[in-house]
Structure 1
Amino acid sequence: MTDSKLFEFRYGEHLISFMRVTRKSDSHRILIKVHPDCRVIVSSPVDANNEEVLSAVKKRGRWIYEQLRDFRKQLEFSTPRQYISGESHYYLGKQYLLKVIEAPEQAQGVKLLRGKLEVSVRTKSTEKVKELLTEWYKVRAKEIFAKRLEAMLEQTLWVDERPPLRILTMQTQWGSCSPNGRITLNPHLVKAPRECIDYVILHELCHIAEHNHSERFYRLMGQVMPNWDRIKHRLDSLANHTISIESNIK
């Protein structure tokens, strides 16, 4: 009988998640395996405490990071997700394992529970799981984007009133701003960390004052988010291994 729990640790600027799986064994070794789908599984004895496991994982931090980096490069050319249990999916920059539950008597839906994205379906179907997850992301995106827009408006004094917000899946853009000031955001952006969401929103709010990427535009960006270029780089790098696999967003 095994038990599992999700942990995370920092390697430099990178936050790496791993699943600890306990085992009953005479061996006291802590075993670390990085899977091709970028799941990090750490098998440890039942009597090993969390501090011991974290310490062992951190010692192998560089190796884990390099394995993940190489596998992510491979995933850029991999087949689309299968939407089955064990896959990694992202929400607000964190990695969650997908768990598909076949429950004919329960309502179909998605729950974020104990470090997992649990999807309940009446009968297991890739298309149904994908449909439910897509809708869940859109609902979360609408709620979170609205809150972050309100927060970012406090910094953009040139915006007189709250601009209308639309959620729309786009193939090549995180966001856009129409000539009349309507902001459109891609629901896939909700998979990225909050600072990346804030960056995209501020980018579009700056376009309300300056529709081109002019010197004035970048001056505004620098005023409201001095480290915007670092955050943009982070978002670009995240897109390669958390989002572009299924949506071709870059």
Structure 2
Amino acid sequence: MSVMIYPQGRTLSFVYGDERILVCREDRPKVTSRVQIKVYPDGRVVAAAPSDIDDHAVLVAVKKRARWIHQQLRDFRQQYEHLIPRQYISGESHLYLGKQYMLKVIESEDHTPQVKLLRGSLEVSVRQRHSGNVKTLLAEWYKDKARDVFARRLDAMLEHTLWVSERPQFRTRVMQTRWGSCSPKGCLTLNPYLVKASRECIDYVLLHELCHLAEHNHSERFYRLMNQIMPGWQSVKEKLDGMAHRLLLN
């Protein structure tokens, strides 16, 4: 199982005005029968409900909030109209471990191409000031940092997961729909873009996958484990979901 960036489940839909709105249905722990509806900045509409509630009932709940959903989508679309694509030039803001750093590009034929994390800035040295060169260097830097950070956070999280007898292997791989996954053999795959998020978000993804070593499905036992080792994980998940579009922005 895996921590999804964009939830995968049954897709429902309804019409509001002249627009058909798609809704991704997610299962949630059966602690309440209430349908939880969220609209994300990238235009996703997610309805989370216990698995024993049928799709019709979920749609009824969604339609009751149709006006609010439509307004949220419209507001986010207006915000996106003002987003400026990354140009990889000095002055841009880039994330690392949940904090913003200003990009500083230095062109010098004498310097080895490299990235340095300085106080408040990411300094990228290139021989030619070309956005493609800067982008490539920065992407590799994120991957290197991700492997180091994930290894340290994994060791820290293993202190709380007593059901894990051996340190699981992990690898990093860029994924567009997942933050992490756990194979049937217990190997973890983590998205290097996750290193842009806070340590709390990284810990949540690691703990989610470590819980799958004990319970491969999203069962009641799985959620009990999550609640035991990370009380309030739902708010961390919501935070991570809400900033997914920024973390994935190249």
Range class of TM-score, shorter chain? 0.5 to 0.7
TM-score normalised by L of structure 2: 0.67
Q: What is the distance in 2 between the residues matched to 1:150 and 1:160?
A: 12
Could you tell me which residue of structure 2 aligns to residue 245 of structure 1?
249
Indicate how the Cα distance of structure 1 residues 115 and 178 shifts in structure 2: closer, same or farther if over 3 A, else same. same
Tell me which of 185, 189, 196 is aligned to 1:184. 189
Whether 2:200 is the aligned partner of 1:195: answer yes
Tell me which of 196, 219, 225 is aligned to 1:220. 225
Q: Structure 2 matches for 1:144-223, cutoff 5 A?
A: 144-223=149-228
Identity %: 65
Q: Structure 2 matches for 1:2-81, cutoff 5 A?
A: 74-75=79-80, 78=83, 80-81=85-86
SS of residue in 1 equivalent to 2:231: coil
Indicate how the Cα distance of structure 1 residues 222 and 81 shifts in structure 2: closer, same or farther if over 3 A, else same. same
Tell me which of 76, 90, 96 is aligned to 1:85. 90
SS of residue in 1 equivalent to 2:234: helix
1:77 to partner: Cα distance: 7.8
| Greater RCO, 1 or 2 (C-alpha within 8 Å, sep 6+) | 2
Tell me which of 223, 232, 240 is aligned to 2:237. 232
SS of residue in 1 equivalent to 2:205: helix
Task: Figure out how many residues of one structure are paired with residues of the other and give that number.
Answer: 176
Tell me which of 133, 138, 141 is aligned to 1:136. 141
Structure 1 residues not aligned, in runs of 5+: 1-69
Q: What is the distance in 2 between the residues matched to 1:183 and 1:239?
A: 20
Counterpart residue identity of residue 184, structure 2? P
Q: What is the distance in 2 between the residues matched to 1:177 and 1:154?
A: 19
SS of residue in 2 equivalent to 1:156: coil
Q: What is the distance in 1 between the residues matched to 2:134 and 2:79?
A: 24
Deviations 1:173-226 (A, max 9, x none): 000000000001000000000000000000000011111111111111001101
1:115 to partner: Cα distance: 0.6
1:244 to partner: Cα distance: 3.3
Q: What is the distance in 2 between the residues matched to 1:152 and 1:140?
A: 18
Indicate how the Cα distance of structure 1 residues 99 and 195 shifts in structure 2: closer, same or farther if over 3 A, else same. same
Q: What is the distance in 2 between the residues matched to 1:200 and 1:119?
A: 29
Counterpart residue identity of residue 236, structure 1? D
1:75 to partner: Cα distance: 4.0
Deviations 1:88-133 (A, max 9, x none): 1000000011111101111110001121001000011111101100
Whether 2:138 is the aligned partner of 1:126: answer no
Q: What is the distance in 2 between the residues matched to 1:220 and 1:76?
A: 42
Q: What is the distance in 1 between the residues matched to 2:156 and 2:162?
A: 12
1:234 to partner: Cα distance: 1.0
Q: What is the distance in 2 between the residues matched to 1:179 and 1:203?
A: 15
Counterpart residue identity of residue 114, structure 1? R
TM-score normalised by L of structure 1: 0.67
Q: What is the distance in 2 between the residues matched to 1:83 and 1:207?
A: 38
Structure 2 residues not aligned, in runs of 5+: 1-74
